[in-house]
Each structure stands twice: as C-alpha cells, then as structure tokens.
Amino acid sequence: MAGLVAGSIASNEGLSTILLRKGQSATAYSSGAIDVMGYLPDASEPFSSPKEGLAAVAGLLPLHPYSIVGYSEEVQEDNVVNEIVSRTRDAITWLKTNLKGTIAQLRGSFKSNIHAITILGTTKPTCLIQETMYSETLQEREDGVLLLAGITGYPDFNPSIAAKTYLEDRLASSGPPRKVGRCLLQITPFGKSYNLSSIEIARHLDHENSIEELANQLKMHVDQLGATHVALPPVLGLKNALENKKELEKLLGVEVFELLGFPPSVPGLRLQLALEGLFRRSGGKMLVGHEAISSFTTDNRLSSVTAKAPRREMQIDAKAFILATGKYIGCGLSGDENGIHESLFDLMTVTGTYHSAGDILPSRFTNRVAISPEGQPLYSCGLTVDPHFRPVKEDGVEWASNLFAAGSVLAGYDYSTEKSGLGVAATSGYSAAKNAINFIKEVF
C-alpha cells in the first residue's frame, strides 16, 4: 500500500518512478478493508469516526505517523488537529477516488466508521470496505434476517459459530437484524471438495455459470429462512467479485455481501492487484521479484540502490527514494538474538516508546496470547523519522537528505490494536511522496 500509493502520486506528478517489489506484502494478506483509526490502545470502545480517532492521536501520541502527517512549519499549534484530519482525509479520499472502477472499489466515508462483520461473527470498526463487502441496509432494516452461508470443505469459516457470535453482538446492542440463520453450500473447484482455500473458491466463482449454480443452492435456504441478506466468506472472485455480487442479488432478490476474512485473503489480493494497476496506469514502472540489496551514498545523499533479481543485478540512480518495505511480512524489519534491524540500510530502529530496538530480544517483545487488546509490542517497533518522513540517526538528524520512509516500517503505532494499518500506510505513503516531490523541486 505505502509504496504503491507513493509511487502513483510521484508518477502522476510527472516524475519518472520505479517501484521495486521483492515478494509478498502484508497488504495482500490484509482483509482488504481500509482501517484509519478504530481504537486507542487499551480502549474497549471504538471511535465512531476516523476524525474522532485522529483527534485523539494528535492529543496523546505526538510521534504517531498520523501526528507526523500533520506537522508543518506553517501550521499553528491550535490548528494541528485540523491539519492531521484534513491531510489524512485527502489521502484516503485520493485512494477511494482512484480505486473506483477497479476490482477493489471502495465504499464508506471519513464521516463515520463502518462496523464490518468478520468471518468469526465479530465486528470491527473500519473506514472503507470493498464494495463487495458492503450492505446498504443490514443494520437498519427492522425486519432484516441474515443468512450466513458457509462452504463444505472450506475450514476457515464456521457459519454456526459466526451466527451465534454475531447474534449475541446484535442482541447486546439491540439493533437489527434480530434473526440470523446459517447454511452450508457445496462448491467443488476443479472437482476438489475438501481443504478448500479462499483463492481456489474465488477462482472457481470467476468462471461462467458458477454464480448461477451458487444462486440455485442459496435460493432454497433464503426462502426457508425468509432471509433479506446473505453473507458469504470473502470468496466472491478475484476478477469478477462485484459482478458476481450483483448477479447473486439479482437472482436471489436479497442483498449479498462478503465478510472480512483472514489470510490468504482474496480481498487483500484484489487490493494489491488494483493498486498495482493504478501505479502502472500512472506511468510508473514496476519490477516485481527485484530486491533492493545495497546502496550508495555521497554527501548525505543516497545516489543509487542495487536491485537483484534471479538473473540480473542493476543499479538504480534516483533523485529521491522512498523506503516502504513493510514490517516482518514484507521483510522491511527483521529480528534475531541481537535485536530488531532495518533490513536494507541498517537504519536505527526504536520501540513503540522510542527506546532503542537495535538490541532487544524479539521474544521479550511478544505477548504469549496471540490476539489480545494489548497487542504485540513488536508491532510498534520500526523507524523513527523527522517531520518530512526521513529516517533519522541517533543524533536526530536525517540519515540521508533524499531518503523518505512510509508504511509499516515506521515505529510508533500498533495496527492490530488500533485498527489503523492500511490507513497509516496510505496516508504516510501519500505524505512521503509529496515531501519527496517538494525535495526534488527545491534541490534540483
């Protein structure tokens, strides 16, 4: 997310832009919903809107990437919150506008968080969800009846457990729908009927006629329950998900939507592919399977990086560079018995409380419980940057005048507890690119 947003912004400005991508990304593993700010760490009540969340961050977490987004020498102290909100809104609006018409078209707005339903039957506050995950009326229609449809042989989604959890949630908030049912469907991608993955099912549903077959099976369950809405796991297709949703709605006469899921994530992959399309259309050049392995610096300026692919090595010279290598999945950061390290330039790393992370044992920075409200301290580690998003050294001075950083390689926030991952990546990518463009205009 961070690299592709930054690259698209730079390329749209007419700069010649190259994006190196070594391999897999957290973006493709994500649920594909764009979280901006859901919770403060340790809070149990979610924010009602991204704006409310950003105002809290501005007041309490001055080194959070969102707070850095709002920094500018011209901004008066009493206007910082407005600046953070307005710059983040610009980035998120840019994303929504530019993904329109793609396989990851988004719904939602900055005015309020959506409470999207997950495959566990829980809900999570998020800013934008993919159109295929959106239900216009589920939480408004007093006579709403929700059917959760699972797939035999697909172990990631248990509709019975999800129905129970979701119904408890709705009863506690005394909102509709007040009736939730479940069913199991038979889908056999290429004849396979067990241990199915979401990607296999999505590919199957991208083929002609498969949606009609699915609608035929669903029709009986919809009629039996009197369902007004049908929720499926996120498998509606990699290429044709939105068309498939619309076709199902037409054939069944009820609203159909996807739940938020876990990796491997079809909507995450749709988002990654849509962002790559956006970058290419903006004129950017993408080298997939190319790893930046070393760099050359002169006079406080990074002049080139060397990229390595299985069959070649090349030197890439540029006026400015953006480091958006992600955290542990992307491999921007790695940890061993000596500490947590930035993988490419060996930049200084810090913890979420801004102590050195270069010598902490990763095992000391993890909780035994994988998913907990306290999160994992390891997630808050990363780079510390100056107000222009340039990584700094121990003395607080930038490592190089033309190296900017964005996305989850940054320290100071835990996306898993805050529900802020793709929002921080998009906003910091957008801001880092704008800063890099200004730097080029001023210096060259």
Ligand X SMILES: Cc1cc2nc3c(=O)[nH]c(=O)nc-3n(C[C@H](O)[C@H](O)[C@H](O)COP(=O)(O)OP(=O)(O)OC[C@H]3O[C@@H](n4cnc5c(N)ncnc54)[C@H](O)[C@@H]3O)c2cc1C
Q: Does 118 bind ligand X (CB under 6 A)?
A: no
Residue number of the CB closest to ligand X reads 407
Q: Is the dihedral of CA 418, 423, 425, 430 positive or negative?
A: negative
Q: Which of 20, 99, 278, 340 binds ligand X (CB under 6 A)?
A: 20
Distances (CA, A) of 393 to 66, 70, 359: 21, 22, 15
- Binding segment for ligand X among 1-9, 61-69, 213-221, 224-232 (CB under 6 A)? 1-9
CB of 305 to ligand X, least distance (A): 8
Interaction of residue 50 with ligand X, rule CB under 6 A: no
Closest CA to 116 of 130, 105, 126: 126
Between strands 301-309 and 291-298, the pairing is antiparallel
Question: Is residue 325 within the footprint of ligand X (CB under 6 A)?
Answer: yes
* Shortest Cβ 25–ligand X spacing (Å): 3
Backbone angles phi, psi at 221, to 5 degrees: -70, -40
Q: How far is the CB of 89 from ligand X (least distance, A)?
A: 16
**How many whole angstroms separate alpha carbon 336 and alpha carbon 294?**
20
Give yes or no for a contact between 178 and 210, defined as CB atoms under 8 angstroms apart: no
Which range of residues in 17-25, 150-158, 334-342, 360-368 is near ligand X by CB under 6 A? 17-25
Give the nearer residue to ligand X in terms of CB position, either 210 or 428: 428
Interface positions, 412-431, toward ligand X (CB under 6 A): 415, 421-423, 425
* Rounded distance between C-alpha atoms, residue 348 and residue 389, angstroms: 14
Stretch that binds ligand X, among 22-30, 100-108, 202-210, 312-320 (CB under 6 A): 22-30
By CB under 6 A, tell whether 326 contacts ligand X. Answer: yes
Restricting to residues 52-71, which ones interact with ligand X according to CB under 6 A? none
Tokens for 34, please give them. Answer: 């764009």
259 lies in the site for ligand X, by CB under 6 A:
no
292 is an interface residue for ligand X by CB under 6 A: yes
- Select the residue interacting with ligand X from 6, 26, 138, 403 (CB under 6 A): 26
Phi, psi of 281 (to 5 degrees): -65, -30
Identified binder of ligand X from the candidate list 8, 12, 17, 25, rule CB under 6 A: 25
- Looking only at residues 200 through 239 of this chain, which bind ligand X when binding is defined by CB under 6 A? none
Report the residue from 53, 70, 233, 332 that binds ligand X according to the rule CB under 6 A: 332
147 vs 259, beta carbon nearer ligand X: 259
Minimal distance, residue 54 CB to ligand X, in Å: 14
Phi and psi torsions of 266, nearest 5°: -65, -50
* Residue 17 in the binding site for ligand X (CB under 6 A): no
Q: Out of 331, 358, 386, 440, which residue is the one contacting ligand X (CB under 6 A)?
A: 331
Applying CB under 6 A, the site for ligand X has a residue count of 35
Site for ligand X, residues 341 to 380, rule: CB under 6 A: 344
Q: Nearest approach, Cβ of 52 to ligand X (angstroms)? A: 17
- CA–CA separation, 429 and 2 (whole Å): 4
Closer of 129 and 145 to ligand X (Cβ): 129
Q: Which residues bind ligand X (CB under 6 A)?
A: 1-3, 20-27, 29-31, 33-35, 263, 291-292, 324-326, 329-332, 344, 407-408, 415, 421-423, 425
